[in-house]
Amino acid sequence: MPNNNALLILERFEQRGPVRQEGRGWKTRCPHPDHEDRDPSFFLYPGGGGKCFSQCAQYWPPRELASLLGISLPHWDGGLTLSELAEAKGIPENFFGSLGVANGYAGTGKQRRECVDIPYSNEKGEIVAVRKRLRLEGQGRYLWRRGDHPTLYGLPYLADIKRTGKVVLVEGETDCWTLWHHGIPSLGIPGASMWQSKYAVLLEGLDVYLWCEPDGGGDGLLKSVSADLPNLRLITAPEGAKDPSELYLQVGDGFKQTMENLLTAARPFKEFQVEAFTEEARQSLATAQDLLDSPELISKLSESIEVSGYAGDTRPAIMAYVAISSRLLRSPLNLAYISQSSAGKNAAVDAALPFVPETNYYLVRASSPRALIYNDEEFTNRIVILTEADSLPEDGPAASAMRSLMSDGEMSYEVTEKGEDGQHHTRKIVKKGPTGLITTSTKPLGDQASTRTFTVTIPDSVEQTRAIMHVHASRADQGLPELDFSAWLALQRWLELAGEKRVVVPFGHSLADLVTATSVRMRRDFNQLLIVIQTIAMLHQRLRNKDGQGRIIATIADYREARSLLDEVFTTTVSEGATPAIRETVEAVRYLSPTGNTVMQIQLMSELKLGKSVVHYRVGRALKGGWLVNQTTIKGAPAQLVLGEPLPDGNPLPHPDELVCVENPESDSNLRTVPEIDQGSNEGSNEDFNPIAPNSGVEPPGFNRGFERFEPIPVSTTHTTALVKISEGPLPWDPFLDEEKDNEPNVN
């Protein structure tokens, strides 16, 4: 029996025209006023929501659908009961009871309402988490108990699943219930972002099938699961069926046969991967080839950034592009843009973003670093961009998480939670890398953070300010030209799909001998320098030789490009903040104080021809660095400046002509290797694929064995008791299976 909302909506549809029952729902004409639905294409689900499968291609929750039909639904949010859930999913209520799913409550006081408690248990049947379902539709449908540690759903039945030799991985519990109800072995992943590598060990010896939902979360889930289970097979969902539960509601009694057909047609992930990668990589290469084959790639990037409206020196913006490109390396780059307010720190970073796909980075504006840990985003091979990070913590757990991101390329965070036993337990949350960081701030980062980043400064000169004003004038006068970024986006996509990511630097030891070693922080900074060189070589890889292992061989030209970009960056970083602007200010004090007399800021404003705020910012940085000293002892009195500690030496990076390139004698670096992509290959990538030929008709060994006989062991459990030990004997839910147990297929 449909719930009250569904009955009201169904009644309205019956008033509008013919309605016929189909599967577990009803088929009728689409209610959208702009859709003249002559051939009924709208499906009404038992829960009251509905979907148009033709022109609109849209799903409407019950209340939105009621509004579309011109009726009102009662404003009652009393929660959700097991009977309502069972009706909406088309599964008998006592079937849920055999799984330990029960009615429960969530909230306290006036917020207390009914919900459905879904126990998550380990292989021993011990409850480790309870997920509370609060409603059928909309946001906030689920709530975990405080301190819970979710795992795969259905682990108490793992031994039975292993006897079948195969398992279907789905997202969430609803699809598990649907598959179990039809005798198909499955396990549920609590959410698209909640797969953990340790789950792969539990599935050893099984043929694993994955139903990948057609949305962004499904793509992320596929990426995570395939990394740990490369031999899994993908189920191609029928058009219009997001998940097995929705498919069941649409086809009704034909669900089991439909699922078996889908499982028979499931293909290896590698097969999809090769087909998709080779075709997309071929298209990406065709679009980006002029850039990839150009020795002037960085110069073209600089010109495009300038045309797009960035004023002045483009190196800060190019550094952001290089940092984002370095996400594909084992250790990405970390950058900190430090300048006074309104100098253009965020503008430099933003100028690089149109040249890379949005999936390459995760942009956070004015958010707590702790929020990065608790969200559902994946950061593997991405750069986290944290703007206006003046509040970046130096101490505490959140600071530790950010340091682990900058040092280890992944984010880890330990949180203390109170468990069901009343004791406090420590849980470690890890966001897999490699991940890099770009941050902007008006103040230098703390000691522990600054030694893990390169510092990029924005010029604050009169010339830079005037150049910015001219860009604004051009925008107001004739507007800026619209650029086509497709080639740049295709370049990054090709690097992901078919580009080589391993780079050797044959002159690395020569560089290590020549770079200054007086600063301890050089132990980290030197590696950052190598990362910039490797990234530039990776961008130019079609013009570079490969060694015997297929790795890109960086050249002196790559170092020359890196040195040009890092001239001021490296000098500022290793000199602990002595930017060219700070050096200019200190030298102005030296010029105005030939006899050691004190210098006022107003004198500096006149000498440097800069405004008060700019000079004040520079002087403050120079005082903090110790290169200037304020001899005023009266609080609030004008500063009286004299010279302090000597400025560090200039550019610590050696000239390219000083380097000696020592090639690996075993490398095959005399031949120019330009990777070409052939159909069915992924040349230039890190993985070799050996797929089964598509549409070969080859089924996985023993495919038909066991699906008919999988029957989840029922458990007498509630949300407060542990699952009982699995026992032998007949199963109480056998009547819900479509076939008798005697119909097990012969596998011989």
Backbone angles phi, psi at 571, to 5 degrees: -60, -45
Amino acid at 402: M
Query: In this prediction, what percent of the chain has a pLDDT beyond 90?
Result: 27
Of residues 501 and 402, the one with the higher pLDDT is 501
What is the structure's pLDDT at 250? 86
Whole-number pLDDT of residue 704: 40
pLDDT band of residue 672 (cuts 50, 70, 90) is: very low
What is the 3 state secondary structure string of 515-527?
CCCCCCCHHHHHH
pLDDT at residue number 668:
38
pLDDT tens by residue, 320-343: 999 999 999 988 998 888 877 777
Contact, 629 vs 599, CB < 8 A? no
Structure token pair of residue 235: 């189920």
Task: Rank 131-140, 330-339, 503-512 by mean pLDDT and report only the highest.
Answer: 503-512
Place of tokens 């609803």: 174
> Can you spell out the DSSP letters for 184-203?
--EEEESSTT---TTHHHHT
* Residue 141 predicted with pLDDT over 70: yes
In which band, very low, low, confident or very high, does the pLDDT at 185 lie, cut at 50, 70 and 90? very high
> Given pLDDT bands bounded at 50, 70 and 90, which one contains residue 163?
very high
Structure tokens at 740: 């008798």
Q: What is the pLDDT of residue 677?
A: 31
pLDDT at position 392 is 57
For residue 596, the model assigns a pLDDT of 83
Do the Cβ atoms of 615 and 603 come closer than 8 Å? no
| Distant-in-sequence contacts of 145-152, Cβ < 8 A, 24+ apart | 145/420, 146/417, 146/418, 147/417, 147/418, 147/419, 147/420, 147/425, 148/120, 149/427, 150/120, 150/190, 150/194, 151/120, 151/122, 151/190, 151/199, 152/187, 152/188, 152/189, 152/190, 152/199, 152/202
DSSP three-state, residue 36: coil
**How many angstroms separate the CA atoms of 491 and 265, rounded?**
34
DSSP assignment of 358-397 equals GGGEEEEES--HHHHHHSS---TTEEEEEES-TT--SSSH
Mean pLDDT score, 33-53: 87
pLDDT above 50: residue 670: no
Tell me the pLDDT band of 720, cut-offs 50, 70 and 90: very low
Band (557; pLDDT cuts 50, 70, 90): very high
Q: What is the mean pLDDT of the chain?
A: 78
The answer on pLDDT for 172 being more than 60 is: yes
Q: What is the pLDDT of residue 369?
A: 59
Q: What is the C-alpha separation between 129 and 147, in angstroms, rounded?
A: 8
Whether 95 contacts 87, CB under 8 Å:
no
Mean pLDDT of 229-252: 87
| pTM for the whole structure | 0.53
Determine which of 119-128, 479-488, 490-499, 710-719 has the lowest per-residue pLDDT on average: 710-719
Confidence of residue 717 (pLDDT cuts 50, 70, 90): very low
DSSP-assigned beta bridge partners for residue 338: 441
Tell me what the mean pLDDT of segment 368-374 comes to.
65
Is it the case that residue 56 has pLDDT exceeding 60?
A: yes
- pLDDT category at 469 given cuts 50, 70, 90 is confident
Tokens read off for 455: 């510092």
pLDDT in tens, 275-297: 666 778 889 999 999 999 999 99
Position 732 confidence tier, pLDDT thresholds 50, 70, 90: very low
Cα-to-chain-centroid distance, residue 55: 32
Tokens, residue 534? 């490797």
DSSP letters for 123-164: TTS-EEEEEEE--SSSS--EEEPTT-----BTGGGHHHHHHH
Nearest to 556 by CA among 507, 491, 512, 594: 507
Q: What is the pairing mode between strands 20-22 and 25-28?
A: antiparallel
Question: How many Å apart are CA 201 and CA 189, to the nearest integer?
Answer: 15
Predicted confidence (pLDDT) at residue 299 exceeds the cutoff of 90: yes
Cα–Cα distance, 507 to 547 (Å, whole number): 14
Per-residue pLDDT for 571 more than 60?
yes
Of the spans 340-354, 363-377, 402-416, 697-711, which averages the highest pLDDT? 340-354
The pLDDT assigned to 541 comes to 94
User: Dihedral of CA 51/55/57/59: which sign?
Assistant: negative
Ramachandran category for residue 128: left, alpha or beta (phi over 0 → left; psi -120 to 50 → alpha):
alpha
DSSP string, 540-556: TGGGSBB-TTS-EE--H
**479, pLDDT greater than 80:** no
Q: Can you give the pLDDT at residue 552?
A: 95
pLDDT: which is higher, 676 or 189: 189
Mean pLDDT comparison of 132-136, 198-202, 705-709, 719-723, highest-scoring range: 198-202
Q: What is the mean pLDDT of residues 45-60?
A: 85
Give the integer Cα–Cα distance in Å for 564 and 560.
6
**pLDDT exceeds 60 at position 590:** yes
Q: 210 falls in which pLDDT band (50, 70, 90)?
A: very high
The one-letter code for the residue type at 601 is: Q
By the 8 A CB rule, do 373 and 413 touch?
yes
Is the omega angle on the peptide bond into residue 268 within 30 degrees of 0, that is, cis? no
What's residue 390's pLDDT?
Answer: 53
Q: Is the pLDDT of residue 727 over 60?
A: no
Q: For position 631, what pLDDT does the model report?
A: 86
What pairing do the DSSP bridges indicate for beta strands 166-171 and 207-211? parallel
Q: What is the DSSP letter of 599?
A: B
Tokens of 7: 């009955």
pLDDT above 70: residue 694: no
Tokens of 374: 């608790």
Q: Whose CA is closest to 155, among 202, 191, 198, 110?
A: 202
Q: How confident is the model at residue 446 (pLDDT cuts 50, 70, 90)?
A: low
- Domains of the chain, each with CATH number or no CATH: 4-69 (3.90.580.10), 82-265+705-743 (3.40.1360.10), 309-482 (3.40.50.300), 502-576+657-674 (no CATH), 579-643 (1.10.10.10)
Look at residue 170 and tell me whether its pLDDT is greater than 90. Answer: yes
Judged by DSSP in three states, 333 sits in coil
Element (H, E) at 476: helix 462-477
Pairing of strands 454-456, 334-338: parallel
C-beta of residue 599 within 8 angstroms of C-beta of residue 640 = yes
Mean pLDDT of 385-411: 65
Q: How confident is the model over 262-281, as a mean pLDDT? A: 78
User: Nearest Cα to 189, choosing from 239, 228, 163?
Assistant: 228
Q: What is the pLDDT of residue 543?
A: 95
- What pLDDT sits at residue 473? 83
